[in-house]
Amino acid sequence: MTDKKKENLTKVMDYLKHKDPFSKGVAFCPGCGLELLLRFIPQVIGNDIVITGTPSCSAPVLLGQNNQSWHTLSYFGTLMTGAAANATGLARYYRKAGIENTVVCFNGDGTAADIGFGNLSGAAERNEPFIYICYDNEGYMNTGIQKSGTTPYGATTTTTPLGSAHKGKNLRRMNLALKMAMHKIPYAATATLSDLDDLAKKLLKAKEAKKRGFAFLHVFTPCTTGWGYAPENTIEVCRRAVKTNYFPLWEAVNGKIRMTKTVKKPKPVSTYTELIKKFAHMSEEDLQILQDDVDYEYCMLGGLSLLEGECQLPVSSED
């Protein structure tokens, strides 16, 4: 390990001010990105959060079974359709009752981008005072790897399988984080597990921002089982997603976008896809379509980050 790497590691550890509330052994797959994220959040922003979760990969560990639990956090296991509305109800009641609180609405991309997007958008529009975190593993992994709105072009899932007529998803992925930033909420950001100091900073900013209203974090969270890569490669997959601009790191305060990490010489997206089996069938042409999509998204983001000024409306959550 180089000195610089050691230094970075120390920096990350410095953010872990609180204990890990999870049991040492939990029911996630080896190499699961979600587990790292889930353990990281309360260590950075505290154990006195109320976390809500839905049926998803996070559920077996987050929600516990009967009267047994894998952790010591207060949690609310709820429905995918109304996750953001549940968090709204909690945060609003705590405010009314004068109870200091940090509500973390923790959902996969199926809830955030698909079935629960309506109420996510509604909560953002009303500037509700809580933190919404989407862990994006690009599909419905818990039900056995099906396509979601954030599944990228070309990726195979069990509902976008390889066949003689169709090969993988023939649609682009939606840019959930950008959509959320366009609500001009106090804070929106992307993050991933290869850049934990960046993630930690954004978690703390989100916690601060929720005093002014809605905070949204979109965390790129690879899935070793669903995507088909070696469990030890989770962090490397994240790293390459950032270095190819497949998943750029940025933040937006009141809708004003700023890159938090700029990649000087982005690698071709194939250096990211080559690690992952779900892209393995893709031809040069297919990869070019994906590359064009990545370039276009990045270009749009770059353009938005150049805009001057920001939303001047007062930001207080509806009351």
List binders of another protein among 32-61 (CB under 8 A).
47-50, 52, 59-60
Both structure tokens of 223? 């899935």
CB of 114 to another protein, least distance (A): 14
Write out the H or E segment, with its range, that includes residue 41. helix 33-45
Give least dist CB 138 to another protein, A.
25
Nearer to another protein, 60 or 255 (CB): 60
- Is 92 a binding residue for another protein by CB under 8 A? The answer is yes
Instruction: For residue 73, give the H/E element and its range.
Output: none
Binding residues among 147-186 for another protein as defined by CB under 8 A: none
State the nearest-atom distance from the C-beta of 74 to another protein, in Å. Answer: 5
Q: How far from 275 is each of 88, 184, 234, 241, CA to CA, in Å? A: 39, 35, 10, 11
Q: Is 46 left (phi over 0), alpha (psi -120 to 50) or beta?
A: left
Is position 26 an interface residue for another protein (rule: CB under 8 A)?
no
d(CA 192, CA 196): 7
Smaller CB separation from another protein, 13 or 79: 79
Q: Which of 93, 143, 277, 296 binds another protein (CB under 8 A)?
A: 93
Sign of the torsion angle spanned by Cα atoms 157, 159, 164, 167: negative
Give me the least distance between CB of 104 and another protein, in Å please: 10
Q: Does 126 bind another protein (CB under 8 A)?
A: yes
Helix axes 33-45, 234-243, angle to 10 degrees: 80
**Cβ atoms 81, 119 nearer than 8 A:** yes
Q: Residue 83 Cβ, how far from another protein at the closest point, in Å?
A: 8
Q: Is 74 in the site for another protein (CB under 8 A)?
A: yes
Residue listed under structure tokens 């990211």: 272
> At closest approach, how far in Å is the CB of 176 from another protein?
17
Q: What angle do CA 317, 318, 319 make, to 5 degrees?
A: 115
69 touches another protein by CB under 8 A: yes
Number of residues that bind another protein (CB under 8 A): 50
Nearer to another protein by Cβ, of 92 and 202: the residue is 92
Q: Are 184 and 178 in contact (CB under 8 A)?
A: no
- Closer Cβ to another protein, 95 or 167, answer by number: 95
Stretch that binds another protein, among 10-18, 113-121, 131-139, 204-212 (CB under 8 A): 113-121
Tokens read off for 102: 């940090």
Q: Does 208 bind another protein (CB under 8 A)?
A: no
For position 260 contacting another protein by CB under 8 A, the verdict is no
Interacting stretch for another protein, rule CB under 8 A, among 70-78, 175-183, 285-293, 301-309? 70-78
**Residue 79 sits in the site that holds another protein (CB under 8 A):** yes
Report helix, strand or coil for 286.
Answer: helix
Instruction: Answer whether 101's CB lies under 8 Å from 90's CB.
Output: yes
298's torsion region: left (phi>0), alpha (psi -120 to 50) or beta?
Answer: alpha
Which residues sit at the interface with another protein, rule CB under 8 A?
Answer: 47-50, 52, 59-60, 63-69, 72-79, 81-90, 92-97, 99-102, 118-119, 121-122, 125-126, 318-319
